[in-house]
Structure 1
Amino acid sequence: MKIEREFLQEKAKEFNNNRALRISQRAASSTGLVEASIDKREYDSNRFHFNISLPETKIRNQNKSGRCWIFAAMNVLEYALCQKYNLKEFELSQNYIYFYDKLERANYFFNSILETLDEEPSSRLVSHILSSPMGDGGQWDMIKNIVKKYGVVPANSMPDTANSTASANMNDYLTKILRMYAKNIRKAHQEGKSLDDLRAMVEEYMGQFYNALAISLGTPPEKIDFEARDKDDQVHSEKGLSPLEFFNLIDFDLDQYISLINAPTKDKPYYKSYTVEHLGNVLEGDLVKYVNVPIEVMKEAVVDQIRSNEPVWFGCDVGQFFSRESGKLDLTTVNVFDMLDVDYDFSKEERLDYHESLMTHAMVFMGLDYDMENERPLRYKVENSWGSKSGIDGYLVMSDEWFDEYMYQVLVNKAYLPEEVLVAYEEEPIKLRPWDPMGSLA
């Protein structure tokens, strides 16, 4: 349709004659859409109460970076370390993982450039590869690959820097560098340079890139000391450990855990394994891989793991119907569409198909409120990485209904999974295109 003046006059008149719309306008324009739409009568329906709660540790803060997936993973490993050594608190270095993820991701990027030398820069694939080579987000299997290859270190062995806590400028310049290198490699290919020549260029560029990372994030340690005092005042001390030796002290079997996703779209049948093309960090590492399951299967596995006193790493679309002030993720507290006088009609399948929702943030389940009589979860205790002033002392509360709609990925111990899922995970994964919503990075 063509918007005519008569249409505008008619709609303005209708709006001004509607008292409810005028009230909504005043509230939304004064306080913002989300704040004005919060229904505080719903606070009690998703209250911060849990009858199953794992021991709490200090809340971390990723600050102005997109490292939530690393923080969530380190929180899981810290929990395992504290349980093993009876510690109240211990922090692992997120910056150490961050450094090696950036380094490996640059090498992965160069490999993708070499694989697509004969495609035009304007092709969808090359455009995708060039779009965000140094983004902060990631997937669980990318954590697994880094930890398997490089181990972990205590936070005091490689603390955060100004660039890891506020990463936008660093990522911007690292991206400029990688795109320039990609241009040089493709140009050399067009000039007839051999593949060996191009690989030599990559090796030189990787050396320069290492230096840029070391300047920005610090130099990773080769040896560390593990020193901690437990709750019974006993001292634990191991000197001169390699990062891999230190990780082995944690006694966390990375291969015992697999990722489940819930993507109820027609192109992804349940009980099949999937991977995403051109998504990863460590070139020789494991594929990013997961099994698509019904939401009920995912939920049962999460509940079983929490009830067995194990935290659960997960990825969700955190911005959906989220009240930051109260730390609530539910479908009733925030109701912007009610204020906008719009009937919101989108299924989870449709939201994925129409690019309305995907995984945006990783956190950790640390408890739940479980209805023992009806054997079902009511709400979940969520450990976040936005500092203790966010939510409720750093924690969020997620309703079971919100879980159904906006939960996309969970990491589960194989011990809590049915045989059908385990069999599917071992099958050759179906390859998804790089821009598939299940290839999103938390």
Structure 2
Amino acid sequence: MKRFLLCALAFCTTLGAAAQTADTKSEPEGYRFTDGKVLDITPVKNQNRSGTCWCYSTMSFLEAEILRAGGAPVHLSEMWIVRHTFMEKAEKYVRMHGEINFAEGGAAHDVTEGIAKYGIVPFEAYPGFNYGTDKPDFSELTPVLKSFLDTVIKGRKLSTAWKRAFNALLDEYFGPMPETFVYEGKEYTPASFAASLPIRMDDYIDITSFTHHPFYTKFIIEIPDNWMWGEAYNLPLDEMMQVVDHALANGYPLAWGTDVSEKGFSRTKALGIIPEADLDGMSGTEAERWGKLTEREKEAALYKFDKPGKERTITQQMRQEAFDNYETTDDHGMVIVGTATDQIGNPYYKVLNSWDAMPPYGGYYYFSRPFVEYKTTDIMVNKRALPKAIAAKLGLK
């Protein structure tokens, strides 16, 4: 009996091992990343139910710049800038008779321009959630603001009350703005607190890469959320990427405007890729089988996100066509904070997002180099992070 039990046990163990091996083989390989150089940055934030990624990403970018410059960690108030920006958007919307975008979106330069004009406060001094939640929720706020402005512009002339009334709405939703506050035992004004930080807003520039304007000049990027009509320096694609790589190598983060409506972006996988069928790497049978697939079947195969593979080679023309055809849009803002590689050696950028510290990487995302080449609308960077030759071409010192 004992011998029988031992044999039975061995048989079951063998079956279990075989089953485990079979299950393992059937599981997708997935993506495994090895981080390269990753810069110091403050914790992941949560923009929650608000279209304020532009502010959250740029604030995190500036907080990282403060760390780089030797300053203490600080959480700057996003809603301080969002509230001021809503007032400026309202004035432009009214002056343009409603023929301009009034929405929650914006751009990185909204933040640097706002700090230069209005100063800044720490989050503790102005959380900006005066409507019963502890996270941003603009589901009521934005429709109320826009409805008010649409009523204002229906009149034959502007009343003397509309700005005061609009500001009262902002006070109710965001809270009254402090003229002074105490932070770590010291009293500040918004202007003096901004001046106390080891960074200066005029050090930051926007860079992009499109052919419908001359290279090495500045132009207004024609995207709806650029309500401020801010300008960006225009570089060829390879030089824009040189800026990204040179900045990271020298310890500078980048605020990144991009498009996450692509099929190659997976929110659940925290991954962005631009895959391409590796026909050269297929055997004759595999290539023949691939050729018989429908376009839908090919697309499903390419975007399985089951393991790394070949990606498209991005050209300047591809970037331009995607922008001209409205395939590249100003969807989202994040912060590029480092580099990484997958298990077959493909290069990636490690990116801080503002959708809370969620799995699988605690609020960080990985975007392939082709994705960044293809889908970057613009980047903000410290002008000192540019390679000297590129800075000279732009006339920057």
Q: How high is the TM-score relative to the length of structure 2?
A: 0.75
Aligned position for 1:290: 232
Aligned position for 2:19: none
Aligned position for 1:102: 86
Letter of the 2:89 counterpart: R
Cα deviation for residue 392 of structure 1 reads: 1.1
Aligned position for 1:270: 215
Aligned position for 1:329: 272
Q: Kindly tell me: are residues 212 and 422 of structure 1, through their superposed partners in 2, closer, same or farther at Cα, counting changes over 3 Å? A: farther
Q: Kindly tell me: are residues 381 and 169 of structure 1, through their superposed partners in 2, closer, same or farther at Cα, counting changes over 3 Å? A: same
Q: Kindly tell me: are residues 342 and 304 of structure 1, through their superposed partners in 2, closer, same or farther at Cα, counting changes over 3 Å? A: closer
Asked if 1:388 corresponds to 2:325, the answer is no
Contact 1:291 1:425 in 2 (8 A): no
Letter of the 1:209 counterpart: F
Cα deviation for residue 62 of structure 1 reads: 0.3
Cα deviation for residue 160 of structure 1 reads: 3.8
Letter of the 1:91 counterpart: H
Cα deviation for residue 183 of structure 1 reads: 1.1
Identity %: 23
Contact 2:179 2:190 in 1 (8 A): yes
Cα deviation for residue 204 of structure 1 reads: 1.9
What SS does the corresponding residue of 1:165 show, helix, strand or coil?
coil
Aligned position for 2:107: 139
Which residue among 66, 70, 75 is the counterpart of 1:81?
66
Q: Kindly tell me: are residues 107 and 386 of structure 1, through their superposed partners in 2, closer, same or farther at Cα, counting changes over 3 Å? A: same
**What CA deviation, in whole Å up to 9, does each residue of 1:243-294 have, x standing for no partner?**
1111112121211221111224xx3232221026897667xxxx50112212
Aligned position for 1:308: 250
Cα RMSD between the aligned structures?
3.1
Letter of the 1:92 counterpart: L
Q: How high is the TM-score relative to the length of structure 1?
A: 0.68
Asked if 1:409 corresponds to 2:378, the answer is yes
- Where structure 2 has 5 or more consecutive residues not aligned to the other structure, the ranges are 1-26, 278-293, 303-311
Separation in 2, partners of 1:50, 1:303 = 15
Which residue among 105, 111, 124 is the counterpart of 1:156?
124
Cα deviation for residue 83 of structure 1 reads: 4.6
Aligned position for 2:35: 50
Structure showing greater radius of gyration is: 2
- Where structure 1 has 5 or more consecutive residues not aligned to the other structure, the ranges are 1-38, 114-125, 189-197, 228-236, 427-442
Letter of the 1:299 counterpart: M
Q: Which has the higher helix share?
A: 1
What SS does the corresponding residue of 1:210 show, helix, strand or coil?
helix
Aligned position for 1:256: 203
Letter of the 1:400 counterpart: R
**What CA deviation, in whole Å up to 9, does each residue of 1:334-391 have, x standing for no partner?**
9xx96444699993322222212222111101111389xxxx9921110000000155
Equivalences for residues 158-237 of structure 1 within 5 A:
158-161=126-129, 162=131, 165-184=136-155, 187-188=156-157, 198=158, 201=159, 203-227=160-184, 237=185
Aligned position for 2:318: 347
- May I ask how many residue pairs the two structures share in their alignment? 332
Separation in 2, partners of 1:423, 1:347 = 24
